[in-house]
Chain A
Amino acid sequence: GAVVSQHPSRVICKSGTSVKIECRSLDFQATTMFWYRQFPKQSLMLMATSNEGSKATYEQGVEKDKFLINHASLTLSTLTVTSAHPEDSSFYICSASRTSGGSPYNEQFFGPGTRLTVL
């Protein structure tokens, strides 16, 4: 159990276009979903935290108008990179968390990532 999927796995787009990435929890309801960005040979940088039905919380330095997050249901969150530019090229990873019976920490389960290349 606790499988998270992302679609697409890879996308190439032209500069100035917008790209939508989907993150789905396949076999559980996710109380919270997270979006990360990973540059080559670097760590995951948390971009934003989203809870179903409410506005996402963005980390410092992340442009909320650039990276639009919609968390429409307990199993789906989307990240839209608006007016993408080559510097937005990166590996985007989502994770989903669910309550862990009695634990104050809700374990995160990670998706396989989406490779975005902006030409």
Chain B
Amino acid sequence: AQSVSQHNHHVILSEAASLELGCNYSYGGTVNLFWYVQYPGQHLQLLLKYFSGDPLVKGIKGFEAEFIKSKFSFNLRKPSVQWSDTAEYFCAVNPFYSSASKIIFGSGTRLSIRP
């Protein structure tokens, strides 16, 4: 079945540790890819997006993600996390064959940062 998979449900890190959250999708063809963040009690915010071009995209707050087409992956990275990065992170996919705006979310990864 077509899906978006985030294999890490809960990640716990210490401040200054490096972060990598995995995301794989199973949609064929061209896709647009996103990472969203949901801080406690707040609404979803777009961290970064990939439409085309350089597969390494940089987003807000020092986050970046790399699109590897052969692996159907779009992993999120940050070299040094901060306590304020504690949040829920969602990978999302917009398959080109779907409507122009429809996006499918992964199950989310809860990131907890120890001060």
- Count residues of chain B with CB under 8 A from any CB of chain A: 23
A97 CB–B CB distance under 8 Å: yes
Q: Which residues of A contact B108 (CB under 8 A)?
A: 41-43
Counting contact residues on chain A (CB < 8 A from B), the size range is 20 to 34
Chain B positions within 8 Å of A49 at CB level: 99, 101-102
Determine whether A103 belongs to the interface, using a CB cutoff of 8 Å to chain B.
Answer: yes
Cβ-defined contact, B43 with A93, below 8 A? yes
Bound-complex Cα distance A36 to B112 (A): 25
Q: Which of A31, A43, A107, A111 contacts B43 (CB 8 A)?
A: A111
In the complex, are the beta carbons of B101 and A106 less than 8 A apart? yes
Contact present for A103 and B51 (CB under 8 Å): yes
Please tell me if A29 contacts chain B, counting CB pairs below 8 Å. no
In the assembled complex, the Cα of A98 lies from the Cα of B32 at a distance in Å of: 16
